[in-house]
Structure 1
Amino acid sequence: MMSSSKWTFCVCLLTCLLNWTVSEEVKTVQSGEDVCLLCQGPRGADIVLVEWIRPDLVSEGFVLLFRDDRIYENYQHPSFHGRVELRDPQMKDGDTSVILKNVTINDRGTYKCYVRIKGNSPQLINSVHLKVKHSDQQQITVKTGDDVTLQCLDHRGGDIELLEWRRQDLEEDVFVCIYGNMCENQHPTFKNRVELRDPEMKDGDVSVILKKVKISDTGTYECYVKQSESKRWKRTVNLKDAELIFTITLNFTDSGAGGDKYGHVGLILGLIVGVLYLVVF
């Protein structure tokens, strides 16, 4: 039979585990929407610190940092500047939820909310996994051997520092363009078959032309753009900072190369039948 001391220890351990268990909420939104990331701190408590983080970005800054009765934007990750605010600036009844504005596909990930009450250490209150669906999607159906334009327009009006075209099932990029003058095909399948529709990318036109398409080109293509934050040229560009602008799925009709093949077969069979007819009759 379990002694009273062991029983007390087990109860305390179970209570601690239950107190520290935080379920992860899942939210799905469309890109361009605003989303509220919920976090409910202790009601009536003196909250002195609120930290919203995304673990994969924490080394580069917070999603939001509230301390000393104000928000510290200089400690915030650059991608969240001007887009995150407390739902209730007064945090009445312990409401430490935040509103993330104009969500993009790059905001996908897990967000964690830590709250510290005066005299205590920070405690994890809630975890939210955010899924983002991109609304700008297009499907194109082409014939093998054709040239096709994969259209992508960036209407934000800034200088384009980086352009990436990716295909979801390929590890290497289809096409990369840095500062508009260093463009290359990354994946060998697309060598010498992809070029910018407008080499100067005027008015944010970052569309590309894929030449002589083939069945193996079937797939979903994504257009990513990073705008320059300053006019100063930098030696390195962080590919992770590029934002998804447009998605295109490329499909093929039954005609094209397949139709030509069966056409040739029919012609050959016709000639054979004609020759046999002449021989017999």
Structure 2
Amino acid sequence: MNLIQLKTVQSGEDVLLLCQDHRGADIVLVKWIRPDLETELYVFFFRTHRAYKNYQHPSFHGRVTLRDPQSKDGDASLILKNITINDTGTYDCYVGLKGNSPQLINSFHLKVKDSDQQQITVKTGDDVTLQCLDHRGGDIEKLEWMKQDLKKNISIYKHEKMHKDEKQNPSFNNRVELRDPQMKDGDVSVILRNININDTGTYECYVRNSNTQPQPQLISNITMTVIDSGGDGGDKDRHVGLIVGLSVMCVLLLVVGVSFMIYRICKKHKMRKRRPPIHEAADRDLHVLNPEP
């Protein structure tokens, strides 16, 4: 039973997937497959000292070679060039010897980390630059910016021109432009204007250039979180509301305190009015002591 080996690489790198057949006979067939691909095409197909491109999945065209094209000493190891996020998956190596059926020799699970993954936070109403730099060289023939949760692209550029057609999501009409219209030095960054809450999500940058295979390749992705620019204002409003509330409470307490003091003063004043004057009380007492004859 073959154990699956885990291999982790960065996007843009080349990776060597080892496969060594020690049965000691001449190799006549090598098949590298990706079981998760929705097709019967191979990562690499080699028979009688020749690679067959028509049996190969298009995403691997021009990117795969045997380490030893002669497969000496049972070496069927594979070199996969210019790794992308889409290359994440399981790779199985089958080797066929003369007079025998192909056998599974080795399995790898390849995990690709995006070296250009970015996390950004912006406010509604702002403009933001989604950065993507293609360092592979060559003339850029096609650029696609996509948002993962949308069925249509946010922008498509071909030969330095923006193609506004049915493939662009309407919510991005007139909001996307190249940072550098000439795309010098592989700068395919775009400016997204007037950000809104619905723009939250993950954006992917795909590029096809003259040095690579026909299908555009994922260069970078950006996860953008959009916050409401009124959020800070709301906090300030709550802060002001708290201050106003406390001020009103203090005024009410002051009014209650003053009212209580006035009440005490009025009460004392009424009590004094009810009490007879001192000299009248004294006359009554004297009359009691010295009644008239």
Q: Tell me how far apart the structure 2 counterparts of residues 68 and 263 of structure 1 sit (CA, whole Å).
A: 75
Correspondence for 1:124: 104
Q: Evaluate the alpha carbon distance shift between residue 123 and residue 58 of structure 1 in structure 2; reply closer, same or farther with a 3 A threshold.
A: farther
Equivalences for residues 23-42 of structure 1 within 5 A: 23-42=3-22
Correspondence for 2:145: 164
Which of 195, 214, 218 aligns to 1:244? It is: 218
- Name the TM-score, length of structure 2 as normaliser: 0.67
8 Å contact from structure 1 (residues 195, 210) kept in 2: yes
The residue type paired with residue 137 of structure 1 is Q
Q: Tell me how far apart the structure 2 counterparts of residues 164 and 146 of structure 1 sit (CA, whole Å).
A: 19
- Name the TM-score, length of structure 1 as normaliser: 0.70
8 Å contact from structure 1 (residues 48, 117) kept in 2: yes
Q: Evaluate the alpha carbon distance shift between residue 270 and residue 193 of structure 1 in structure 2; reply closer, same or farther with a 3 A threshold.
A: farther
8 Å contact from structure 2 (residues 207, 216) kept in 1: yes
Q: Tell me how far apart the structure 2 counterparts of residues 182 and 101 of structure 1 sit (CA, whole Å).
A: 30
* CA RMSD of superposed structures (Å): 3.6
Unaligned runs of 5+ in 2: 259-293
| Alignment partner of 1:144 is 2:124 | yes
Correspondence for 1:197: 178
Unaligned runs of 5+ in 1: 1-20, 231-237
Q: Deviations over 1:195-239 (max 9, x none)?
A: 113584532443232333345544432212234789xxxxxxx9x
The residue type paired with residue 207 of structure 2 is V
Q: Percent identity at matched positions?
A: 54
- Where 2:234 maps in the other structure, the secondary structure is helix
Correspondence for 1:263: 236
- Where 2:120 maps in the other structure, the secondary structure is strand
Query: What is the number of residues matched between the two proteins?
Result: 247
Equivalences for residues 3-22 of structure 1 within 5 A: 21-22=1-2
Greater radius of gyration (CA): 2
Q: Evaluate the alpha carbon distance shift between residue 269 and residue 128 of structure 1 in structure 2; reply closer, same or farther with a 3 A threshold.
A: closer
Q: Evaluate the alpha carbon distance shift between residue 62 and residue 266 of structure 1 in structure 2; reply closer, same or farther with a 3 A threshold.
A: closer
8 Å contact from structure 1 (residues 164, 173) kept in 2: no
The residue type paired with residue 202 of structure 2 is T
Offset, 1:275? 8.3
Correspondence for 2:23: 43
Q: Deviations over 1:148-204 (max 9, x none)?
A: 11122334332433412224xx1434513153342368556x444731135845324
- Where 1:183 maps in the other structure, the secondary structure is coil
Q: Tell me how far apart the structure 2 counterparts of residues 211 and 149 of structure 1 sit (CA, whole Å).
A: 9
The residue type paired with residue 130 of structure 1 is L
Correspondence for 1:16: none
8 Å contact from structure 2 (residues 155, 162) kept in 1: no
8 Å contact from structure 2 (residues 133, 187) kept in 1: yes
